[in-house]
Amino acid sequence: MAHQGSLEIVASPFPDVLKELHSKYKSLRDGLVANYIPELAKVNPDLFSICIVTVDGQVYEVGDYEQLFTIQSISKVFAYGLALEDHGRDYVLTRVGVEPTGDAFNAIILDEQSNRPLNPMVNAGAIATTSLIKGAGATERLNRMLDMFRRYIGHDVFVDISVFTSERSTGHRNRAMAHLMLNFGMIDQNIEESLDLYFQQCAVMVNCRDLAVMAATLANRGINPITQEQAVKSCYIKDILSVMYTCGMYNFAGEWAYKIGIPAKSGVCGGILAVVPNQMGIAVFSPPLDVRGNSVRGVKVCEELSQQLGLHLFECSGKGSKFGETFCPPPATA
């Protein structure tokens, strides 16, 4: 289904594929909505949408694609890009590593040798990344963050105050991480300001279409395919996508890379954002989560999209496939 505006829908396999996947998984009831942040526990578990935006600005979407929700951990991708622009990759690497971790996203763990958080996609690393965002005070830093999101999405965004307040009042584990990093000199003394900014970035309101445009912007060398505005310098796209590929799905990242094979980031809101470089951005929104904190329907949809459309980064096109997927015959029986 197309939305109003200047975006043109053309003949493509995407509409039928998205409609089929939405119908197939709409009745799936596995998983639970996040409840460690009280406001998130109120979300309707039946909400479900899928959206694809191509690098030439075509939009394909199905389901509740205009339903707003808080971006949560997906924001880490974009805050990392802003920190890279503010300081450059060499300095950012002194504060936040890029190593995958098999631990949960909220694990209180630092690298034993460098004392850095392991990567910018886990909470500790994201807090350290957000602390690097420049600005003369809390208001300027927040405005720079919101303007960054605006460039990626193409319209102004706002923070859900109820979710921000809920995260701020219950975020004791994140506060503990911040103090541990302060002890090792990974963040500066202004802990509360940086934590507030982190909680605010996670509480930015988006919909599934917005996420797909953001993903397509990363796929399009940092240029928003709808507005043609440069959202992030192209030279940092490889940094962002590399970390997404190896770390974006937490302790499911290895299996995601093996089965689905594209850079992605999940959030406890139920969103998954995935990037097919130079081709498209994909977004799925469905609140029920698996034990690792990833959307159950979202993972299923992305796995099927990768298989049906041949999206895996190491896919080799083969004859006889529906959309370019390599055909592998079943193993011979004895």
* Identity of the amino acid at 287: P
Which amino acids are annotated as binding site, given as ranges?
73, 123, 167, 174, 198, 250, 268
> Using CA atoms, how far apart are residues 243 and 228, in angstroms rounded to an integer?
25
Based on the residue annotation, tell me whether 198 is a catalytic residue of this protein: yes
| Residue among 243, 268, 276, 299 flagged as catalytic | 268
Q: Cα-flanking dihedrals φ and ψ of residue 223, to 5°? A: -100, 125
Which amino acids are annotated as binding site for substrate, given as ranges?
73, 123, 167, 174, 198, 250, 268
Based on the residue annotation, tell me whether 96 is a catalytic residue of this protein: no
- At 119, list the tokens: 């990567």
With b meaning 16 or more CB within 10 Å and e meaning fewer, what string describes 249-265?
A: bbbbbeebbeebbbbbb
> Using CA atoms, how far apart are residues 331 and 334, in angstroms rounded to an integer?
9
| Residue among 250, 286, 295, 306 flagged as catalytic | 250
Based on the residue annotation, tell me whether 65 is a catalytic residue of this protein: no
CA quadruple 172, 173, 175, 180: dihedral, nearest 10: 140
**Using an 8 Å Cβ cutoff, are 105 and 120 in contact?**
no
| Residue among 59, 76, 245, 284 flagged as catalytic | 76
| Residue among 43, 65, 73, 236 flagged as catalytic | 73
Based on the residue annotation, tell me whether 60 is a catalytic residue of this protein: no
Based on the residue annotation, tell me whether 250 is a catalytic residue of this protein: yes
Q: Which residues are catalytic?
A: 73, 76, 198, 250, 268
